[in-house]
Amino acid sequence: MLFKQQPLLRQKLFVLGSLAIGSLLYLVARVGSLDRLQPLCPIDGRFGPRGQDEIPLRALQFKRGLLHEFRKGNATKEQIRLHNLVQQLPKAIIIGVRKGGTRALLEMLNLHPAVVKASQEIHFFDNDENYAKGIEWYRKKMPFSYPHQITIEKSPAYFITEEVPERIYKMNSSIKLLIIVREPTTRAISDYTQVLEGKERKNKTYYKFEKLAIDPNTCEVNTKYKAVRTSIYTKHLERWLKYFPIEQFHIVDGDRLITEPLPELQLVEKFLNLPPRISQYNLYFNATRGFYCLRFNIVFNKCLAGSKGRIHPEVDTSVITKLRKFFHPFNQKFYQITGRTFNWP
């Protein structure tokens, strides 16, 4: 009899087990979403030396889930008022460099509970039409945040656009500026790859990288080619230094952000006077993508879009050597100015 009932018993146990696991998962998700609405932990107080330019962090205990709802436009004016949400000008800007890993840096910093990212590139300071709309237009483009969180935006075109340093200076002369760089030749090829993909999408043909990067008349590096010019980091940085002291910049190693993101993020937290909150838990390596992805909590994680991490075309080794030789003196100067040395060839 007992023998006959065993499959039924097993079936019942299976159903009960599934229900228990389901309820547990629901509770975990529910607690996660409640976290976002309520203070997570007691106020952490101050971290690091208290300086004039220190970013206040009293709202660290809040999580971002609620903000997400507001950003989706689901909030009423009453809710915004009730939660004391504001649209703040950025306290830090990722000014470049294009293809340096600007998106990865922004998304990873956004893991920090005191950071709120502007999802889109705003292009306020580099686009004359946008700039003419005024600073209030810019502020209104910012996401809602709690007053003591900091807003960060990224627009990589800022780094190379002539007028931008002066314009940012006029908005906030003590703003913190983040520049993420990669080995210049690799960055130039990545830049080319992005443009190439755009052309292919429109069924257009395009030149080979070698043809663009090397001047066929002189056989020298073509400094008129934008992808080459952008990689001369020191030239651009020198323009910025007319307005901002070097202490207001932090250089992120974009190559290391790919292979070992946490230490790079910890350096940024320090630079921004944020308490260390991003941990290894927040970053996991996804073998399929070949990159680190982001884990916000037990239920929510994400990888960057497929447009990040493209396969680069193969480039003639003599061209690579020529480019590396060309960038070498500029790199040395860049190390000297920034005080950060990279193992670039």
Q: Is 193 exposed, middle or buried (0-12, 13-18, 19+ CB in 10 A)?
A: middle
> Distance from CA of residue 69 to its chain's centroid?
21
AA identity, residue 191: D
| CB 283 to ligand A3P: min, Å | 8
The smaller minimum CB distance to ligand A3P, of residues 106 and 150, is found at: 106
Cα separation values, 163 from 41, 98, 234, 300, Å? 43, 17, 17, 40
Q: Which stretch binds ligand A3P (CB under 6 A): 9-17, 273-281, 307-315, 332-340?
A: 307-315
| Of 297, 173, 186, the residue nearest 247 (C-alpha) | 173
Q: Please say which residue, 63 or 187, places its beta carbon nearer to ligand A3P.
A: 187
Q: Is 310 annotated as a binding residue?
A: yes
Binding mask 184-223 for ligand A3P (x = CB under 6 A): ------x---------------------------------
The one catalytic residue among 63, 91, 99, 322: 99
Rounded CA separation 51/37 (Å): 30
We find the least distance from the C-beta atom of residue 290 to ligand A3P, in angstroms, to be: 8
Sheet holding 115-117, edge to edge: 115-117, 150-154, 92-96, 176-181, 249-253
Instruction: Compute the least distance from the CB of residue 245 to ligand A3P, in Å.
Output: 25
> Is the peptide bond preceding residue 97 cis, with omega within 30 degrees of 0?
yes
Query: How many chain residues are in contact with ligand A3P, going by CB under 6 A?
Result: 17
| Comparison of 17 and 313: residue with beta carbon closer to ligand A3P | 313
Phi then psi for residue 34, to 5 deg, are -70, -35
Give the tokens for residue 93: 């800007």
For ligand A3P, the closer CB: 270 or 308: 308
Determine if residue 96 is labeled as part of a ligand binding site: no
Is 99 considered catalytic here? yes
Residue of 265, 304, 315, 323 interacting with ligand A3P (CB under 6 A): 304
- β pairing state of 283-286 and 176-181: unpaired
Q: Give the shortest CB-292-to-ligand A3P separation in angstroms.
A: 4
CB atoms within 10 A of CB 102: 24
Q: Which of 124, 138, 249, 291 binds ligand A3P (CB under 6 A)?
A: 291
Token pair of 46 as six digits: 């101050």
What's the min distance (Å) between Cβ of 75 and ligand A3P? 29
Q: Which of 81, 199, 310, 328 binds ligand A3P (CB under 6 A)?
A: 310
Q: Which of residues 80-119 bind ligand A3P (CB under 6 A)?
A: 98-104
With residue 192 as reference, give the H or E element that holds it: helix 184-201
* Summary count for the chain: helices (H), strands (E): 14, 10
**Distance from CA of residue 337 to its chain's centroid?**
24
One character per residue 145-184, x = contact with ligand A3P (rule: CB under 6 A): -----------x----------------------------
Q: Which residues are annotated as a binding site for 3'-phosphoadenylyl sulfate?
A: 99-103, 182, 190, 292, 308-312
Which residues in this chain contact ligand A3P in the complex, by CB under 6 A? 98-104, 156, 190, 257-258, 291-292, 304, 308-310
Show binding-site residues.
Answer: 99-103, 182, 190, 292, 308-312
Which are the catalytic amino acids?
99
